[in-house]
Structures are given as C-alpha cells and as structure tokens.
Structure 1
C-alpha cells in the first residue's frame, strides 16, 4: 500500500476530558480543532490573524477560548509581524512547525549531497550495470512525506516548489502551489499599494485552499506570485464602494458627475 502523504494534526486522546476543554461549548470545541487544522494547513505555527478568527468563528467563540483558563487559555492574544491575532496554546509542543519542516528538508538535502559525493568517488560500472541502475531509480518524495517521522534522502529536485516566484524551474514547467505558500513583506506591500481594502490573509487562505483542491493540469502554474496578484486584483474589483479608500471614492464620485459640477442635497456646486 502506498504511503499516506496527507498532512495531519496531533491531538491528545484525553484532550476532551481536560477541565478547560470539557466546559467548552460545541462551537468552542469545534473552533479549537478547526483552528489547529487551519494552522497546520497554512503553516502559521499556531498563529491566527484576528480578522480570520473573527470571520471564521465569531467574537463569542474567541472570547470563550481566550478565557477558558485563568493562566493557560486555549488561545491567547498575540501579535506576529505587526498583525494582531491569537496564538494556540502550546502549538509548537504538539504540532509540526515550519522549523521542523525546514530541519527535515535540510537533513534530506545533506543526505542527497552525501550520496552524490559517494557515487562520484566510486569507480565506473559497466554500461549494462548503469542501464540497470537507471531503470530502477525512483524519484524523490514530495514535501508532504518529508514532514513524516522518518528521515528522507533526496537526490533530485522535488515537484513541489519552495518559492512563490516560479513553478517549473529550468524547463519552465507548471507545478502545484508551493508548500508552504508564504506571503512575504514585499507581497503585502504590493497588496497595500495595488489592492487596498482587500483582506490579504483571508483572500490568501481562499487562494491556497482553492488551488490545493484542484487536480490535473489545471492545478499547475508557472508563476504562483503572478497568480496570487491576479487573485487579489479580482477580489479588489468585487469590493463594494464603501470599502474603497476616500481618494478612490472621490475619484469615482467625480467620474460620475463630471469635474465642473457636482450636485449635493439638491444644491449645485460648481
């Protein structure tokens, strides 16, 4: 049977009997589990942006999870990279973090380099042996497998890119969305300048979930950064007028009535 390469979250089998968990409402318990799964999926290391949390679970649930224990509530207020939000209690102690993934990836890279060096130091084999070796060579495991408990040695490039900029490498082939898809400072600055009013975290979550659910050729992109830019532009175009900036509303207002005459409350102003 093929190895299950899906991502998982860890939960203590006695978690539901913990005093601070037993008293949670159904909505609170569900939000605690969903938030852990969301953070694993989005690789946020337990951080939940306030806007995402309020939109997904609501203010009442947030208040419940941040007050279900006087010293160690399930969530506690936290600021990450200037973004207000909440941190899941002891997330890094129980779940796989970005640092864990990078450590396994680096271990795999070192193992691949060591194998390559060992092959380079061996004597040349007969042509028939080389053909047999090439025929039995298997591709390296994707990133999802490198998150498992076993060490993975990689000899060739994985099909899952680690950068948002390009997908296909030297041959410029399309690939699936990167693991993880990271919104860096430059991308947030671009969004602030080009798509003001768009909720970057919420929109990115929709973007990532959409493309991870896709299969086949439709799920491959050559440049995921450009795809993300276009996704934000589309969301920006759907923003209602009241969510635009004052300057944008003014420009739209002038464009409607003309630059020389504006009617306000039945009175003409020229």
Structure 2
C-alpha cells in the first residue's frame, strides 16, 4: 500500500499558511485518496465535493498547491524528486511481490508433498508410489536392497531385562565356595548384608542390573582388593597357599585321613 507523505515542515510553509486550515484539510484527504486509487495526483471534480468544497480547492490553486486540470485538479509536482511513486511504479512493485510470494508458496508446497510421500509410502518402491495405476499395468520393479549382515549375539535368546535386586536375595552354596576361594580376606556375611542394603536403598536407572550374582561377585572382589590394600603382607606372614602346603605336609601319604605327629606317633 503506497503512502501519502507530508513534510514535517509543511505545517508552517507559506503555501499552507496562505491556503488556510480548511483547505489544507481537503489537500490532505485528497492526497491520501490519490495514493490509494493510484491517480498520480489527479482529483476529479466530483471527489472535491466529497472530500471538501470547491472554494477550498480554489484556495489551494491560488496558494500554488494544486493546478486546474481537465475534469478536476492536479497536485503540484506530485512525483517530483520521488515524492510519490507513479501508478506504473506501484503496479510493477506489486507484481514482483506477488511473483516472489508465489514462488515461496510453491517451494513450500513441494517440500511438504515430498515429506508426505516419504512418510506415507512404503520403503523400496519407485518414488515411494505403487498405487494409482490401471489394472494390468505394472510399475517399475524396485531395485533389490543390498544384503545386510546379520548381527551375531553371544546369547541365542533375547537379552535379559535389567531388574532391581530380588526380595530375599540368597547366596547359594556354590557362591559361598567361590567367595572362600577368591575372597579369603572378606567377611562374606557382612559384605552380603551391605550389598543387599545398598542396592535395596538405591534408586534410579543405576539400581537395576542384568545379573545380580555377577554383581555380588564383583562387590566381593572389590572388598578383597580393598582389604589387601589396607593390610599389606608383613615380613614372614604366610599366605593361604602357604598354609595349605603346610597342612598337606602333615598328611600320611598312604593314609590321608591320618596325620603324622612329631616323635613318630600317629
């Protein structure tokens, strides 16, 4: 929409003062109407009486703001120095704006259609389309998909789902034997109680495990490592293996249930 500009110094311009406030009211309203109707500053006589009066129009002529023209009045220097755009300029600009908007809408519609095709049509069909063909007319067969390597899994079945520690977590005899062999410096009962209390109280995603027996074994192994670090071997201290070898030395070779005692007595 074109604008009808008014200079900020026009209020006290000698032509405005000479014409008077009433005539300037006509001049302002007529300028707005000319910009809207693209008349290039021409005001027909019948519009003069709608927007003001003929005496007011004559005052504008005498003040040098209008000139008489065939069938009405013409604004003085309507387009000079780019003061107001011509009808031709406005129509050309509107045409360019309309073409630009049309291109933008077409691009947006094409993008939207392509996205809809990708979402609605099955994968592997030509251009994502198979329907809409007359009966008996086949579409171009899709290209075969390259063979995909099958993922191998260490287990034959689906992966076990992670769970929280079971109620009444129980240590089996096998687990006790393992603990005695691998964690001799750990108090199994105490560590198991701490293990259960810890995982029962813990919350969040880290509180679930796939294998609670392995988690228990790792807990005891860490406790064994901490115990070894806190109590390093002293000079002359025997290890478990040393104690077992010493015990075997007391066994009678032919009768393992008997022990050899000092002095030859059995």
Q: Same fold (TM over 0.5)?
A: no
TM-score (norm 2): 0.36
Higher relative contact order (CA 8 A, sep 6+): 1
* Larger of the two Rg values belongs to structure: 2
